[in-house]
Chains A and B, each alone.
Chain A
Amino acid sequence: MDGAVEDASDLALLRAHAGGDPDAFGELVRRHRDRLWAVALRTLGDREEAADALQDALLSAFRAAAGFRGDSAVTTWLHRVVVNACLDRVRRRAARPTVPLPEAGPGEPAETRNAIAERDVHLAVAAALDALSAEHRAAVVLVDVQGYSVAESALILGIAEGTVKSRCARARARLAPMLAGVRNPDGPPRVEPAMTGEEQ
């Protein structure tokens, strides 16, 4: 289904829900839940928190559906509700303990790095994401991880496209030094120490 068609039927489902169909909203959620879950999980970095945030978000969307104005795609709106719930949760946390970075230590032998399994790369990327500020993380998760366009991400986050781009660029600048040790070992691996000192 192309996006426009999908959205037309999303809108019909939302309208059916507002009209009292007890199953319509559940169907809408089932259509998109994997994407919404991925955004929540990657933005919060914690399974239980992501589940709580997503549930809160979907229940509030359930209640707010009648007020949906149709000024964006239904999926954009759903994502916005979910991302906001996640960011609220992050902001409510007084201090977020940062996960130890999976940086390759200076003494680590090169063959160990080269032998890092793909799964470990994924874990390292997830852990590095967790070290970002929530705002940077939300932007880079939407654009780089989930592949949403800058325009749609801007709608979801409620910020300007330029802000999305700059948050993504800053996020990559933070992530790169953390991931230097696990990246595909094509290039020379020894530049990362010079970059890590540049946190602002």
Chain B
Amino acid sequence: MSDPTTGAHPDVDTLSDLDAGLLDAAMAARAGAHVAGCATCRDRVDLLQDTQAMLAGLPAVPMPADVAARIDTALAETAAAETAARGPAVGRDTPAATGDVTVLADRAGHRRRIDRRRWWPGAGVVAAGVALLFAGAVGLSAVKSGSGASGTSNRSSTTAGAVPRAAPARAPVASGADYSSTTLDAGVRRLLAGRSSPTGLPREVPKPSGSPRGPLAATAAAPVLDRLLGPAALQACVTELAGVPGVTPLAVDFARFQDKPAVVVVLPDSNPANVDAWVVGPACGPGQSDLLRYQVTPRS
């Protein structure tokens, strides 16, 4: 404390400012000249730098489990309160019994596909720009599908880069499967690969008697989804999710999510290594996404 030369030394604030490059040129020159010739001040500058190193060397402090649990609970309670305040949940207007889902897929992967041309009449026009943007990704998944269960026929038109107008990588399907937040990633990858049954157990419920009504029979067991079978309604939903018009989904599956009728819409992510999985309820449309789940899913 009694260093006789202290008065001549720049104070520690000045040294710290010098070290941080905050002094104006004249001050910096004067302080710098002093420090260069003063072992005491050089050591103080060293100490300031050591201090910075010690600060940087503090260990990471992961959130403790009890704090994480407490915050998760608080957020979940708030979310539940908001949902309750918002009105009836999707599930309530779906009187169809859980077991009634018609599954158009069997374990072998044979399934009724909805003809892409019915679904995307204007795809070539609307999606041309989008198709160019996503041609790489689309081509990739189309190629993958070709090497997969190649027995099923109607995907043959999805030849990789050759037909860029085939913007939706996959025609919409109606697996009727019941996704959950844990099976969604794998299910989405299966959709992209053309195998629509998600990893979870596909619901193998026998079809109701009576003949299916063509493609529209897809959601016979979940009639609340029928509205979205219309290409215009579905595109409006996609636009709501994407936030911009003209985006063409990579895959669409009329299915269930945690036992609620749901449509899984797979959109490109800004990172080509990922896709965005949007799970929506029957009300998805302009101004309302009716989101049940959103997940960024790695393509592989």
Q: Is the CB of A198 within 8 A of B13?
A: yes
Known A38-B60, A196-B1; judge A179-B296 contact (CB<8 A). no
What's the least CB distance linking A76 to chain B, in Å? Answer: 18
Complex-state Cα separation, A17 to B72, whole angstroms: 15
> Can you report 22 A-B residue pairs in the complex whose CB atoms are below 8 A from each other?
A9-B271, A9-B274, A9-B276, A22-B80, A22-B82, A23-B181, A24-B291, A27-B295, A38-B60, A58-B75, A144-B52, A145-B58, A162-B22, A166-B17, A166-B22, A168-B20, A177-B47, A183-B47, A191-B47, A195-B44, A198-B13, A200-B13
Complex-state Cα separation, A13 to B297, whole angstroms: 13
Q: Mark B101-144, 1 if CB is under 8 A from A, else 0.
A: 00000000000000000000000000000000000000000000
Q: Mark B21-42, 1 if CB is under 8 A from A, else 0.
A: 1100000000000000000100
| Chain A residues within an 8 Å CB radius of B19 | 169, 172
Q: Which of A19, A59, A166 contacts B291 (CB 8 A)?
A: A19
Q: Is the CB of B55 within 8 A of A144?
A: yes
Complex-state Cα separation, A13 to B54, whole angstroms: 36
| Chain A residues within an 8 Å CB radius of B1 | 193-194, 196-197
| Chain A residues within an 8 Å CB radius of B56 | 144-145, 147
Q: Is the CB of B51 within 8 A of A20?
A: no
| Chain A residues within an 8 Å CB radius of B17 | 166, 169
| Chain B residues within an 8 Å CB radius of A21 | 291-294
| Chain B residues within an 8 Å CB radius of A9 | 269-271, 274, 276, 296
Which residues in chain B, 79-116, are within 8 Å of chain A measured between CB atoms?
A: 79-80, 82-83, 86
A135 at the interface (CB under 8 A from B): no
Q: Is the CB of B51 within 8 A of A172?
A: yes
| Chain B residues within an 8 Å CB radius of A166 | 17, 20, 22
